[in-house]
């Protein structure tokens, strides 16, 4: 799909983003952190959005959830299940959130209420969105806690978030997000705070339950190892723009964009010979300021050429693959 795809054609997808931008107002000016992102997601699909800090990936998710900071606003369209999330009134958006759209946050302690028992917090969504009686909702909550392998789930449901370890709290968040069987789960770096062995368990569990419930996932991460483990497709974001997009398997084996290649080269691999130091991408990620007409990666790109003073369009380069780079000539 390219940016010129008509909105009517995108309705067959579970989610269709069309020219979605996110801006923040400050001191009389405006910073654009996501710039005209167009993407589609099918039912049950797992899409990884990859990029360094400041690439705009988390703000993209917050825009979909209607959770931008008060000085932020999103423009464009985000058609989800037949409705444009960006133009829904608050009450209608509330009905979507927690029912067919849910989110797992990076830090579960910011999302869990420290004064409420875990079971009550899980049951809330079922009572509010599905009209279940409290006792039935608590029983469902307890079953889901057991499903995410929280030991002695009925007892754990009566506990408070601070009584759980970091890994258990993240599993509670997964239980809460998937309990209502949403059509789409947004996961913002869900395993960053966990150690590597727990990370793998939590990711596998999230994927397993999402497959059972038919839930599609957008997973925001800076970790290509995580993408390789669970994603069907991947979009690489830099400076708020999509640089490359395609099936995870082909993108990870044959990245075309210099930034995507750099990300892959800087990802540690277990099977690789031990080297004294991993390569790094020179320079610092772009942060803030007005969008420039040039390629945002140009200041760090060793392949830069005069044409790069103009942002290349995101265009098809093969089956389901899109690239925004002047290096690859148009077919």
Query: Which residues contact ligand SF4 (rule: CB under 6 A)?
Result: 257-258, 295, 297-298, 301, 303-305, 308, 312, 325-327
Number of Cβ within 10 Å of residue 212's Cβ equals 11
State whether residue 1 is helix, strand or coil. Answer: coil
Match 């269709």 to its residue by tokens.
Answer: 16
Q: Could you tell me the smallest distance in angstroms from the CB atom of residue 282 to ligand SF4?
A: 13
In the complex, least distance from residue 329 CB atom to ligand SF4, rounded to whole angstroms? 12
Looking at residue 198, what DSSP letter applies?
A: H
d(CA 118, CA 120): 6
To the nearest 10°, the Cα dihedral for 189, 195, 196, 202?
A: -60
Query: Please, which residue, 242 or 295, has the CB nearer to ligand SF4?
Result: 295
In the complex with ligand SF4, which residue's Cβ is closer, 95 or 300?
A: 300
Neighbours of 11 (CB within 10 A): 11
Rounded least distance, CB 326 to ligand SF4, Å: 4
Cα-Cα-Cα-Cα dihedral sign, residues 111, 113, 116, 121: negative
157 versus 298: smaller Cβ distance to ligand SF4: 298
Looking at the Cβ atoms of 44 and 299, the one nearer to ligand SF4 is 299
Identity of the residue, 96 or 298, whose beta carbon is nearer to ligand SF4 in the bound complex: 298
- CA 77 to chain CA mean position, Å: 17
Min dist. Cβ of residue 243 to ligand SF4 (A):
7
Query: Least distance to ligand SF4 from the beta carbon of 291, Å?
Result: 14
C-beta closer to ligand SF4: residue 77 or 257: 257
Residue 325 CB, nearest approach to ligand SF4 (Å): 3
**What is the Cα–Cα distance from 284 to 202, expressed in whole angstroms?**
31
Nearer to ligand SF4, 72 or 299 (CB): 299
Residue (171 or 286) nearer to ligand SF4, CB: 286
Q: Residue 98 in contact with residue 180, Cβ under 8 Å? A: yes
In whole angstroms, the minimum distance from the beta carbon of 256 to ligand SF4 comes to 9
Q: How far is the CB of 21 from ligand SF4 (least distance, A)?
A: 20
Q: What are the b/e assignments for 130-160, b being 16+ CB within 10 Å?
A: eebeeeebbbbbbebbbbbebeebeebbebe
Spatial separation of the C-alpha atoms in residues 93 and 83, rounded to whole Å = 10
80 CB-near residues (< 8 Å, 6+ apart): 14, 15, 64, 96, 100, 101, 184
């Amino acid at each position: 799909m390219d940016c010129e795809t008509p909105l009517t054609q995108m309705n067959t997808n579970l989610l269709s983003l069309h020219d979605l931008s996110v801006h923040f107002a400050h001191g009389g000016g405006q910073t654009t952190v996501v710039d005209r992102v167009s993407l589609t997601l099918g039912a049950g699909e797992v899409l990884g959005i990859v990029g360094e800090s400041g690439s705009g990936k988390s703000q993209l998710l917050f825009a979909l959830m209607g959770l931008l900071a008060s000085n932020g606003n999103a423009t464009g369209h985000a058609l989800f299940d037949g409705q444009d999330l960006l133009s829904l009134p608050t009450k209608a958006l509330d009905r979507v959130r927690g029912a067919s759209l849910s989110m797992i946050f990076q830090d579960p302690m910011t999302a869990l209420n420290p004064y409420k028992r875990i079971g009550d917090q899980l049951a809330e969504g079922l009572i509010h969105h599905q009209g279940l009686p409290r006792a039935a909702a608590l029983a469902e909550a307890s079953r889901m806690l057991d499903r995410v392998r929280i030991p002695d789930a009925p007892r754990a449901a009566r506990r408070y978030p601070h009584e759980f370890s970091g890994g258990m709290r993240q599993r509670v968040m997964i239980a809460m997000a998937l309990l209502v069987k949403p059509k789409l789960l947004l996961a913002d770096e869900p395993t960053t705070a966990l150690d590597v062995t727990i990370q793998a368990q939590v990711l596998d569990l999230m994927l397993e339950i999402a497959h059972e419930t038919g839930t599609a996932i957008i997973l925001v991460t800076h970790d290509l190892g995580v993408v390789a483990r669970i994603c069907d497709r991947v979009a690489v974001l830099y400076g708020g723009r999509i640089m490359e997009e395609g099936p995870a398997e082909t993108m990870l084996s044959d990245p075309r964009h210099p930034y995507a290649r750099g990300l892959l080269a800087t990802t540690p691999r277990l099977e690789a010979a031990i080297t004294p130091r991993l390569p790094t991408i020179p320079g610092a990620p772009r942060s803030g300021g007005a969008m420039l007409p040039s390629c945002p990666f140009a200041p760090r790109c060793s392949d830069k050429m005069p044409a790069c003073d103009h942002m290349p369009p995101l265009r098809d380069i093969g089956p389901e693959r899109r690239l925004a780079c002047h290096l690859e000539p148009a077919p």
